[in-house]
Amino acid sequence: MKATFSFQLAYEFLLYIIIGMLIGYFISQQYNNNIFIVIGLLLGIFMAFLNIYRLIRNRGRVF
């Protein structure tokens, strides 16, 4: 049960970062400016940590 929760945390952490970078990449292609990739990466990291915090906080309520 512990391993499943750990894999879920790792999966969602990476998923948010990759999605943020992809959105930043597509916006940077549109405006021809690479700063949007960095902004997407930072937003993805922020959202990943926020989601991890929510999952850990709600874990005690579910079980």
**pLDDT tens column, 1-60:** 567 878 888 898 999 999 999 999 999 999 999 999 999 999 999 999 999 888 888 876
Determine the pLDDT at residue 47.
94
Residue 61 pLDDT grade (very low, low, confident, very high; cuts 50, 70, 90): low
Determine the pLDDT at residue 29.
94
Q: How far apart are CA 48 and CA 40, in angstroms?
A: 12
